[in-house]
Structure 1
Amino acid sequence: MAGVLLVLGVLLGATGLLWTLQGLGVVGGSVMSGVTLWAVIGPVVLVVGLVLAFVGLRRLRAGKRGG
């Protein structure tokens, strides 16, 4: 389960970063580019992803110590 959280967190973090950059107009070529909504949603998804990755990493490390 910890590995799933870590992978999901990393994927969400990367998605959030991409959405943020698209919303800010840094990454073009999408209907999301330059749309302020994605510049707001992106950082929220990024933070959620980082929290999930952190929790997954902590659980992986705790499992290795306990086992």
Structure 2
Amino acid sequence: VTWNSAERHELFMEQAYPEMETSIVADSASDEEKVEACRNAEAIIMVAASISVDVLKSCPKVKLLQ
């Protein structure tokens, strides 16, 4: 399984409980795309990625950033 492969993404998504809504956003996505994907998120889990303060400010429900 390579770092950014579909297999890795699938393995990650399988760890979530069925009632959880999950999505994967590329680190190369624009801040606007990240906000759109995370606007209602309660948790953001990043793997070798970055997130700007502006994106976090636009996601008021976030309780966990890992």
TM-score bracket relative to the smaller structure: under 0.3
The TM-score with structure 1 as length reference comes to 0.24
**Structure (1 or 2) with the greater strand fraction:** 2
Structure of higher CA gyration radius:
1
Normalising by structure 2, we get a TM-score of 0.24
Higher helix share: 1
Q: Relative contact order (alpha carbons < 8 A, sep ≥ 6): 1 or 2 greater?
A: 1
